[in-house]
């Protein structure tokens, strides 16, 4: 709505007089709209608006039974507002302003009013409030637009994140944060921990845009830690600042058409040149996140003495294809300096497996927050949607589905926070030793419960739950993309088996029934 437009005060009786085809007003949430010229443009036809219960009446319930609130925030519909009901106030809030949702279970317990947590300090709350505002104002609009047109996240967003050193923060706590001003000084580098990172992961996930979330530097989240933890000082000094500044992009290249969860089945090879100064890499990688626009590839290769992880710069012999939907990367005798080796030669399996812990933890955090978003969508829907003359919430079978959804998301979040606390109190090496099984089981459980939640949500939303626009668009998107989470970072069965095998290795020899 333009700032110069003067809104008028009306009574409900005033509005009731405008109920004809050539003079049509309605009330929505105490606001008065003139639909006279719009009625023939209405997607549902003019007849819907001329119904006796709509024309000249309060159409709030009817509107929110068919449309999301965001519709009224679009400029073309804001212009239809001519006034408001005298003495009444709008009660439905717009997204934004870093507000905490009042819907039960829509927020993790530590954010819910009146609840407490032993894990989060004041610095966590400051970061959450500031970052939510940034997400709602900067990231969310771009996420919705890019998810629709299929393009990569806007470089403007990447650069705004750079200004706050968010790219550095998203790779977790560590020495790489020293000397940086984080989120405008809201949190100090020395106090930044995995709960701060968890907040960043889960706030971005609130956008409800699965593909965009991967495109928003997810390649760096999983591709840069091997450089940070195993790269030479010279390599880190050259690569890390470029990635943190958003000028260069990096991705992790492990999976192949020949080997997904089976890391030992990799066929990409790296052999030394005769002078021993370079690697020659040949092979292919598939399903590589951010591979389309990456400048650097953290590549797992089979070498003479095992597996070795090598940082490869895009150049001659390195290419990709978008035909598979995700990046298909080929290495054709690519020449790479041996100084780009990450970790010991032949010791790449430890680099790969230790990196999996953080990757899977991020995925579990994303899954937990995505589920919570669907719980909020369902609670709102069953409270406002009427069927058989009653709200959906009056149906016991619907309440039962929502109860199961709530139980699942709360259990995932609690387990996630427990493991996050362990990460804060373990070294990187201890995490690799003690938490690989725990994180694997958590990720398996998170994605299994997510698929149950997706299925129940579609049943609750009905046809709207399989429609890409409108009331159920977030549910449809969630249901359509949930299978990705169940596979990335390792298939559920593989992760479950890893967790049990690690537990069995720790069994005391004298344990008996």
What is the pLDDT averaged over residues 16-26?
96
What is the pLDDT averaged over residues 246-275?
89
Residue 96 is predicted with a pLDDT of: 62
Residue 322 is predicted with a pLDDT of: 39
Contact assessment for residue 327 and residue 292, using Cβ atoms and an 8 Å cutoff: yes
Select the more confidently predicted residue: 318 or 441. 441
Residue 357 has pLDDT above 70, yes or no: yes
Neighbour tally for 214: CB within 10 Å: 19
Residue 1 has pLDDT above 50, yes or no: no
Lowest mean pLDDT among 15-19, 105-109, 162-166, 257-261: 257-261
Q: What are phi and psi of 65, to 5 degrees?
A: -80, -15
Lowest mean pLDDT among 106-120, 321-335, 482-496: 321-335
Classify residue 21 by its DSSP letter: T
What is the pLDDT averaged over residues 140-147?
92
Residue 2 is predicted with a pLDDT of: 45
Residue 318 has pLDDT above 60, yes or no: no
Residue 325 has pLDDT above 60, yes or no: no
What is the C-alpha separation between 483 and 486, in angstroms, rounded? 5
For strands 31-34 and 23-28, give the pairing.
antiparallel
Contact assessment for residue 424 and residue 193, using Cβ atoms and an 8 Å cutoff: yes
Q: Is this prediction's pTM over 0.95?
A: no
| Average of per-residue pLDDT values in the chain | 92
What is the pLDDT averaged over residues 395-406?
97
Residue 140 is predicted with a pLDDT of: 94
Q: Inter-axis angle of helices 492-505 and 436-461, to 10 degrees?
A: 150
Residue 481 is predicted with a pLDDT of: 92
- Alpha helices by DSSP H, listed for 119-174, are 122-134, 140-149, 155-163, 166-169
């Amino acid at each position: 709505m333009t700032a110069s437009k003067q809104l008028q005060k009306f009574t409900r009786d005033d509005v009731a007089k405008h109920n004809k085809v050539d003079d049509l007003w309605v009330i929505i949430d105490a606001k008065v709209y003139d639909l006279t010229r719009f009625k023939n443009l209405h997607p549902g036809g003019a007849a819907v608006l001329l119904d006796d219960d709509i024309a000249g009446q309060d159409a709030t319930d009817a509107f929110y039974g068919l449309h999301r609130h965001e519709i009224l925030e679009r400029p073309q519909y804001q212009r239809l507002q001519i006034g408001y009901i005298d003495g009444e106030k709008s009660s439905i809030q717009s997204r934004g302003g870093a507000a905490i949702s009042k819907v039960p279970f829509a927020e993790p317990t530590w954010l819910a009013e009146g609840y407490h947590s032993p894990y989060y300090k004041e610095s966590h709350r400051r970061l959450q409030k500031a970052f939510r505002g940034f997400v709602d104002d900067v990231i969310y609009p771009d996420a919705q637009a890019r998810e629709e047109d299929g393009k990569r996240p806007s470089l403007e967003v990447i650069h705004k994140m750079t200004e706050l050193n968010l790219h550095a923060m998203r790779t977790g706590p560590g020495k790489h944060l020293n000397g940086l001003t984080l989120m405008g000084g809201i949190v100090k580098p020395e106090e930044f921990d995995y709960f701060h990172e968890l907040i960043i992961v889960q706030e971005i996930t609130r956008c409800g845009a699965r593909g965009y979330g991967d495109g928003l530097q997810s390649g760096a989240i999983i591709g840069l830690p091997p450089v940070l933890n195993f790269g030479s000082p010279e390599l880190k000094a050259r690569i890390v600042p470029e990635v943190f500044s958003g000028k260069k992009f990096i991705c992790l290249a492990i999976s192949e058409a020949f080997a997904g969860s089976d890391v030992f089945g990799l066929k990409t090879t790296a052999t030394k040149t005769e002078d021993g100064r370079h690697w020659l890499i040949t092979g292919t990688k598939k399903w590589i996140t951010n591979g389309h626009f990456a400048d650097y590839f953290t590549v797992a290769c089979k070498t003479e003495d095992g597996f070795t992880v090598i940082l490869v710069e895009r150049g001659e012999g390195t290419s990709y294809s978008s035909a598979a939907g995700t990046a298909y990367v080929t290495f054709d005798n690519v020449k790479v300096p041996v100084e780009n080796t990450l970790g010991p030669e032949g010791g790449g399996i430890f680099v790969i497996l230790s990196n999996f812990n953080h990757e899977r933890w991020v995925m579990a955090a994303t899954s937990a927050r995505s589920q919570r978003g669907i719980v909020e969508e369902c609670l709102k829907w069953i409270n406002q949607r009427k069927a058989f003359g009653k709200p959906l919430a009056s149906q016991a079978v619907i309440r039962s589905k929502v109860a199961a959804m709530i139980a699942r998301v709360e259990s995932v979040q609690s387990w996630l926070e427990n493991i996050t606390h362990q990460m804060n109190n373990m070294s990187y090496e201890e995490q690799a030793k003690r938490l690989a099984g725990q994180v694997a089981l958590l990720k398996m459980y998170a994605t299994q419960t997510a698929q149950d939640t997706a299925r129940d949500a579609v049943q609750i939303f009905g046809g709207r739950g399989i429609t890409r626009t409108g009331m159920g668009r977030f549910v449809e998107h969630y249901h359509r993309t949930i299978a990705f989470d169940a596979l990335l970072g390792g298939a559920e069965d593989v992760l479950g088996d890893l967790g049990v095998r690690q537990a069995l290795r720790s069994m005391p020899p004298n344990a008996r029934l």
